[in-house]
Every structure is written in C-alpha cells, then in structure tokens.
Structure 1
Amino acid sequence: MNKLTKRVSAAIGSLALVSGALIAAAPANANTITIKVMTPNYTDAMPAYYEDLNKRFMAANPTIKVEHENLSWDDILVKGRTLISTKSYPDVLNLNTFSEFAAEGLLYKTSDLFSEAKLSDFVTAFRDNSKYNGVEYAVPDLASARMFFINKAVFYGAGNTKIPTTWAEVTAAAKKIKAKYGSKVYPLAIPLGSEEAQAEFQIWAGGNGGRYFDEKNSKWVINSKANLKTMNKLRSWVKAGYTQPNPASTNRTDAFKLFSQGRVGMINASVFFPSTLKDYKSKVDYGVAPFPSASKSKKPITLGVQDYFMGFKKPGNQDAVSKYLNFLFEGKNYAGFLKAAGGFIPATKSASSEVDSSLLPFIDQLPNAIFYPGTLGSWGAVVAKITTQIGTGITKDPKAVLDSLQKTAVAA
C-alpha cells in the first residue's frame, strides 16, 4: 500500500535512521542485543518519525540497539521478495504481505509478542486477515479502502448530473467529458502499471463479482469469466479514448498527479488520496462516492487493503522484538505513526475513535470490502506476477494473459 514518496528522500532517511540509531544506542555490553527493523516509506514524514521513535525506545531500553532501514516501496518490495532466498531476515518487518514468511515457519505468533488485551484492540476484520492456517502471525499497522473520485468542475462541467454507479454510467459520463474537453482532459484514469496494478484491476473486477481466489471453493479464479469480462471492458474504454495514454505502463503515482493537475475526470483512489492532493497543493475540488459496479444487479464493493508488522524468529530476539512492537503501538506512538503515514484507516479500535472526518466515508464502506487472499502462503509470489503482468491484458490477448497468471498461481 505504497503512499507516494520519493526514492531519494527514502534513501537519505534510511541512512539517517541507521546512523542515528548507532549514535543514540547505549555502549555495547554482554547483554546488549541489536535488532534490525525494515519499513516502507509511506510518506516523507516517516524517517523523522522513526528517528524520534527509535531514540526514545533505546533510551527506555538501553540494552537494545535498533538498526533501521526505511526504504521506498519499490525497494522494499524487491528486497522483501528475496528475504527467503537470501535468508537475510530483519527482526521486525513492515510489509504488505506476511503469509509467505509464516508458511516457512519464520515468524513469531502474535501471541508470543503481545498480550491478549493488546491484541483485542486491533480491529477484528484486520486480525482475521493476519492469519495463516488460522493462526495470527502478524498485526495490522493500518488499512486502506477505495472510493470513486471525480473532478467536480470537469465532471459536472461536461453536463453530467450524478456520479456513476454502473459501468454503463461510467461510459456515458466519459463520453460527455471527452466531447466537452477533447484531449485537454482524460475522462477516466486507469493505472495498470507495475506500482499497484493488482489493486486497480481487482476493484473493477470486484464490482463484477470477480476475484483472484475463490475462498469458498479454495481455488484460484484469475482467468474467470467475470475477470475476462472486466478486462474487456477496460480495453473498450482505452480503445474509445476515454483513458490516459498507455494504461498498461501508467503507475498510480502518475495517475494521481494527472488528477491533481485537473487533467482527469474520474479515478479510483485510496483513503489517503485527499492528503496526497494536499501534498501536491492541488486546487481540484473533488467528490467521492462508492465504486461503480458492472450493473445494477451487482453489489458495490470497495477494496480493503492492509499492511502488517511481523517479528522474525531469531535466537534470543523475542523479548526485544516484543518490546519494540509494543512500544510502537502505544497510544501516542501509534498516533504519531498514523500521522506520519498520512491519511490511512487505523488498525486499532482505540485509534479509530479519533479519526479525521475525511476518513469516515471510507470507513463506512468497510462492510462492503473485499480483500486480497493474503492469508495464502503463495500470495506473495502470485501478486508479484499479477502486479507486473495483468496490465499487459490491455495490449495483448486478455484471455492469454489471465490464463498465464492462473497457471502461475496454481503452480505457486
């Protein structure tokens, strides 16, 4: 769930955190343990947050030293996918998948790290999505939901009167926007580049009843009729000139920037998008609504996404890992984490009672949320392929692309 960042600032932040950690740590002695923490750079505020958190943690726990890597999402995803093969595990990892590590027996159970009283504060639905084979091996750090955003000036200026609730209404609205603004505005942004193509496709497919995995029958369904129909609908919008050029190579960051500049009429976006628009100093007046489904007979959905903190089992590190994670989830520390991360849905019940009002429409959609099959041990390998390949269904034979991904998933 990569909040928009700059790789350079993430790298600088990483170096600052590591050097700060070493300087602030207590003098080494026989009882000192060093733990390595690896996290994604949700926003450019994260390095300063962790630098302060780590200093205070080490001051309160002088026998524990923290070495911290705060990486860009591009870098941590690449590194995260090689941890098993390289066996270079951190002690604490914050990532968007956990089950592949749990499947290898590498993680502590959360009950080994937190008291039941502490665990009970995490939102139940998020806890359920942190289980592998029915056992919790990770805790959620934050969550996101998706809604349909419109540029009010563009949308209503083209003669549209209500936000679309179906694909047919999306088509009609896009047609009006194109007729009004021509090449100056892209009616609909569909980013299927490798940054987060799996999310863009899933939310459109979800509104048509499509999924990546059939939980009821325990089987992969990437090449289902519903998913193929969804891909063909996206292709039809591209062919009609209703989208930005080259959707298959357009990343979410690129699409968000286009919207912020007033060059996109409609877009799928996450709960943090309002704060992103503020970061861009955008003047676009936007509206939000539930995501349009394939037809009036299809239930509207949102895509629920969560990231995780997990602790890797290493000789003698359990107490230090437990102390670090419990320190991070203390009230004020976790509030600081959420603020630095920028506009996500809290993962704890206590923090959820004090959210910004802009998050409420997204929280209201959570009962309609569908989730990735993140509890499957093979999900990490499968989503890596989906992210880089599913966008090619726009320019290549869509059935062949989905069939190939299905074959990969079944074999994983």
Structure 2
Amino acid sequence: MGQRQRQRRTKTGVGNGGTAALAALSALGLMATLAGCGASETSGPGVTLKLVAADYGDSEANSSQKYWDAVVKAYEKKTPGVDVDVSVYSWNDVDRRIKEMVAAGDPPDLAQAGTYADYASAGRLYEVDDLLSIPVQAGFLPQLADSGKVRRVAYGMPFAASTRVLFYNKKLFAEAGIDSAPRSWSELAADAQALDEAGVETPYALPLGPEEAQAETMQWLLSGGAGYTDDVGTYRLDSDENVRTFTWLKNKLVDKGLTGPTAPAELNRADAFTAFARGEVGMLNGHPSLMRMAADQGVEYGTAAMPGYDGREHATMGVTDWMMAFKQNGHGEEIGDFLDFVYSDENVLDFSREYDLLPVTASASEEMAASSRDAGLAPFLDELPSAALYPVGKTSWADVSAAVKEQIGRAVRPGAKPGVVLEQLQQTATVADRE
C-alpha cells in the first residue's frame, strides 16, 4: 500500500479530494477492505498530529516554541482539518520525554531530537520513502540523508546541522605575537605556549566534561586521521591513531597547563563558550552559535579549519539532529504533508538563521551561501560537504556516546595512560554493538 500512496499523493494537503473519496467508500461499507492496507493513514478531517521537539533557544524570547507556533499556524491555515500540537522540551529532557511516551504506549506522531536508530530498529518508525514527496526527499544534502539510514533504509530525516571550526581571539593572539591561526598540532601547541606566556588564562579550552565530550573527542580524533569507527563502520576507539591523539593532548597541552584552570574532565562546552565570550580563552573548537555569543560581548574572533596532526586538513566534525515519525497512530499521509511543508526552503532558512545553524537541504544551503546576511556562516558551510558525522545509524551509539562523555576526560588526567582509557571504551563499544 505504501508504494501506491506515494504515487497518488499530490502533497497539497488533506482537502484535495481524498476526503470525499473516503467518505464515499465508508458509505459503501468498503472501509474494512482498506483496513489491511493502511486505512488509518488517510483518516481525513479532524486529525491532530502530536510533535515533540527540542528547544534550540537560550531564553524564552527565542524559544523554539515560537518558531513551531508560527510554522503550525501557517500550515493549519492552508490545510483545514489537520491540527498540529507541538510540545517543546530542553535538550536535557527531550530524549527522556520521548522515551517515556513510547514506553507508556503513547508515542508522538513526530519527534525531533538527537537520535532515531533505536526506534527504527524496533520497527516503530515510518520509512522516509513512505512519508516525503520525492522532491523533498531528494533535496536533503546526501551525506546527511545517508546518516539517517539503518541497514540501508532511511528512517531519520536530518533537521538541523552544524560543523565545528577553530575559533581564536584576535586580540589575545596579537598580544602574544601570533599573526595567524595554527595549521598543525605543533603550531597549535606553540601558539598555546605563547598565549600562556602572555598571561592568557586558558590558551586552549578542552571541554571533555559530561555535557558534550563526545563532540570535542570526535573532532580531535578526526584531526588525528581516524575517528570513532573505521571505513566499514566498526568501532575502533583504541586505534593507534586515536591513542596517538590523546597521548599528544595529554603531553603537549594538558600536562603543560595550557588548557586552563579547570580540568578538561570537568569543563563543559557551554562553560568553555562562555569563557571565550568573556575574552578569557585563546582558542577552542566551536559551532556557529559561538559567533553571536562572542560578538554580543565585543570579542573580535577569527575562525579556521581545525589543525591536523601533520599540517594537512582532515575531516571536520558535523552534527545533525533528526526528525522521525512513529507509525503507531497512523496518519502517514498527514505526517508526510506536514513534513513537506516544514522542509520548504523558507522554513528551513528561517530556522537555520534564528539559531545559527546550517540548512539540511541543498537548495537552502545554496541560498544561504549566496546571501550576504549569512556571510558569517560561510566557514561552516564550507566544511559541511566533507564533514564526518556521529555513527547515529548504529543502535549502540547512544550507549557509546554516554560512555565517552563519562570516561574520556580520565584519559588526560595526571598519571593517566590514554591508551588504557581508550581500550576500556572500545570494550564498551564492542559489547554495545553486539546487543
């Protein structure tokens, strides 16, 4: 039935003649025939879709609830008979709330969060093919869309993206006699030493605390020529390259006191960003939202590609958040139509610009790249096509990510052996991948 639905859908809303046809079928007593072929997916007028979404704002003034309220208002105006009820939760709560709803047997129709693979593997989600029109589905950036697959089937729809680049404080660099961003690890270490000698409190901020240690870790692993997995997707956290990376971090930055007064295992990304915006940090890895934070505090900053261990550019880290649709309540037609509206260029660009994120569609990315108002995002857009993403298609990633957040900071503590910590994480990943 899914293929027939995709062929006949016009994506112009529920009120396009389908309602009358269903009413006629019902009057003829033929709805029972459709029951085995997804009748609940074309339930007609009076449908209310429930959406749970994450909050990208940092205050009530720019809460994501306001964004979704505007999108829903515009959609409901053009699509009589379909209502969308949106609940927005903080990133600290959204994954837990979705999990609780699913466990209680009352999943939302749509959920926008950081992962999807567990629900896909459990057979709870619609395939993307059964929801989106062909132009909308084809419009996703390929490398993002590919990460939305479990066993080569797409279940996750990329919703928001970002990349990481090296931020540096131009004033502090000038005071330390540094005239350009580092291009290699050796240059980064030398610049950090010069910043330290110039009295900078935190020459390089290394946030390996529990908030987002998996991100800082991945960026460093990539710049060292490896990553969390190998070329065929098998975890290799304890590879020779990764051990080399964390041994270098410990010996050349942490042990020499070049990562600031807070131990990396206790430093969270948000605190590192705040310190950079106060002018206390010489360098750190950052995503686009740091631009606004720094500018608001009058910090003149520069950006550059993350230095590679050998002076060459290596893959940078990209992050994608996901939209998924649960099958339990049906309403596949209405869900698909609403998502086609959500992924219009206008809505994608509005969201990206409001929260300093990158568009997930090719056409919106091209428009942003050509717009002078978005010039500050150019370095991040340039990194996106070649960015490496978390292995979110692996159902084990949630457990592995949690373990990295909890343990990786120990790898650079005084007296620690980075290789031992990475071996322990590899054991955790191997077990998780078997379950």
**TM-score of the pair, normalised by structure 1:** 0.85
What is the Cα-based RMSD across aligned positions, in Å? Answer: 2.2
Query: Hey, what's the Cα distance between the residues in 1 that align with 2:297 and 2:340?
Result: 37
Q: Could you tell me how far apart the structure 1 residues matched to 2:386 and 2:140 are? A: 19
Q: Does 1:70 align with 2:105?
A: no
Q: CA deviation at 1:82?
A: 5.6
Match for residue 346 of structure 2? 332
Counterparts of 1:195 and 1:90 in 2: how far apart (Å)?
Answer: 26
Deviation, 1:232, is: 2.0
Q: Secondary structure of the residue that 2:356 maps to in structure 1?
A: coil
Structure 1 residue aligned with 2:55: 41
Equivalent of 2:176, from 155, 158, 171?
158
CA distance in 2 between partners of 1:386 and 1:202 (Å): 10
Instruction: For 1:127-276, list aligned pairs within 5 A.
Output: 127-181=145-199, 184-216=200-232, 218-236=233-251, 237-244=253-260, 245-276=262-293
Q: Which residue of 2 aligns with 1:345?
A: 358
Aligned letter for 1:293? Answer: G
Paired amino acid for 1:295: D
Contact kept in structure 1, 2:65 and 2:87, CA below 8 Å: no
Please, which of 290, 307, 314 is the counterpart of residue 305 of structure 2? 290
The change in CA–CA distance for 1:87 and 1:402 in structure 2 (over 3 A counts) is: farther
* Change in 2 beyond 3 A, CA 1:30/1:142: closer
**Do the aligned residues in 1 keep the contact of 2:143 with 2:385 (CA within 8 Å)?**
no
User: Given the alignment, which residue of 302, 305, 326 partners 1:312?
Assistant: 326
Equivalent position of 2:406 in the other structure = 388
Whole-angstrom distance in 2 between the partners of 1:233 and 1:81:
39
Q: Deviations over 1:216-259 (max 9, x none)?
A: 3x421012222222222222312211112121121111000100
Q: Which amino acid counterpart does residue 309 of structure 1 have in structure 2?
A: M
SS at match of 1:144: strand
Letter paired with 2:352: L
**Contact map agreement 2:162 2:384 (CA 8 A) in 1:** no
Supply the AA of the counterpart residue of 1:275.
Answer: R
2:208 is paired with a residue whose SS is coil
Q: Which residue of 1 aligns with 2:70?
A: 52
Give the residue type in structure 1 aligned to 2:90.
S
Aligned to 1:6: none
Contact kept, 8 Å, 1:290 with 1:301, in 2: the verdict is no
Computing the radius of gyration from Cα coordinates, the structure with the larger value is 2
Q: Could you tell me how far 1:171 is from its partner in structure 2?
A: 1.0
Deviation at 1:87, TM superposition (A): 4.8
> Secondary structure at the residue paired with 2:198?
helix
How big is the shift at 1:83? 6.1
TM-score, normalised via structure 2 length: 0.81
Cα gap change, 1:222/1:174 in structure 2, threshold over 3 Å: closer, same or farther? Answer: same
Q: Is residue 348–residue 359 contact of structure 2 (8 Å, CA) maintained in 1? A: no
Q: How does 1:50-129 map to 2 (within 5 A)?
A: 50-80=68-98, 87-129=105-147
Alpha-carbon shift at residue 294 of structure 1 (Å): 1.3
> More displaced, 259-268 or 60-69?
60-69
What is the match of residue 422 of structure 2? Answer: 402
Decide which of 346, 360, 372 is 2:378's aligned counterpart. 360
Q: Structure 1 unaligned segments of length 5 or more: list them.
A: 1-28
Task: Structure 2: give runs of 5+ residues left out of the alignment.
Answer: 1-42, 369-373
Instruction: Please say if residues 187 and 266 of structure 1, whose CA atoms lie closer than 8 Å, have aligned partners that are also in contact.
Output: yes
CA distance in 1, matches of 2:139, 2:350: 17
For 2:36, the equivalent position in structure 1 comes to none
> Aligned equivalents of 1:163 and 1:391: distance in 2?
26
**Partner SS, residue 220 of structure 1:** coil
Q: Decide whether the 8 Å contact of 1:100 with 1:379 is kept in 2.
A: no
1:381-402 Cα distance to aligned partner (Å, 9 max, x none): 2222222322232235433322
State the identity as a percent. Answer: 33
Paired amino acid for 1:35: L
What secondary structure is seen at the aligned counterpart in 2 of 1:380?
helix
User: Helix, strand or coil: the match of 2:51?
Assistant: strand
More displaced 10-residue stretch of structure 1: 371-380 or 102-111: 371-380
Rounded to whole Å, the distance in 2 between the matches of 1:233 and 1:206 is 14
Aligned residues: 377
Q: Which residue of 2 aligns with 1:16?
A: none
Q: Which is worse superposed, 148-157 or 364-373?
A: 364-373
Distance 2:105 2:270 in 1: 32
Shift of 1:78: 3.7
Residue type of the partner of 2:405?
A: T
What secondary structure is seen at the aligned counterpart in 2 of 1:38? Answer: strand
The structural deviation recorded for 1:330 is 2.4
Q: CA deviation at 1:367?
A: 4.3
